[in-house]
Amino acid sequence: MKKVLITGGTVFVSRYLAEHYVANGYEVYVLNRNTRTQSEGVYLIEADRHKIGDLLQGIHFNLVVDTAYTREDIECLREALYSYDDYVLISSSAVYPETTMQPFLEEAPLGKNSIWGNYGINKIEAEHTLLKLDKDAYILRPPYLYGPMNNVYREAFVFDCALSGKTFNLPEDGEMKLQFFYVGDLCRMIDELLVQRPEKHIFNVGNKDGITIKEWVTICYEVAGRKVTFRNIYENISYREYFCFNEYEYILDVERQNQILQETTSMKDGLKEAFAWYQNHQMEVNRRKYKDFD
Pairwise CA distance, residues 31 & 49, whole Å: 7
Task: Look at residue 249 in the predicted model and tell me its pLDDT.
Answer: 96
| 22-45 pLDDT per residue, tens | 999 999 999 999 999 999 999 999
Residue type, 212: T
- State the chain's mean pLDDT as an integer: 97
List of domains in the chain: 3-143+181-204 (3.40.50.720), 155-180+208-284 (3.90.25.10)
Average pLDDT of the residues in 241-269: 97
Average pLDDT of the residues in 121-142: 98
Tell me whether strands 177-178 and 3-7 are parallel, antiparallel or unpaired.
unpaired
Task: Look at residue 294 in the predicted model and tell me its pLDDT.
Answer: 76
Pairwise CA distance, residues 111 & 124, whole Å: 8
| 188-229 pLDDT per residue, tens | 999 999 999 999 999 999 999 999 999 999 999 999 999 999
Tell me whether strands 83-90 and 138-141 are parallel, antiparallel or unpaired.
parallel
φ, ψ dihedrals at 142, nearest 5°: -85, 160
Pairwise CA distance, residues 27 & 13, whole Å: 18
In the predicted model, is pLDDT for residue 285 greater than 90?
yes
| 161-193 pLDDT per residue, tens | 999 999 999 999 999 999 999 999 999 999 999
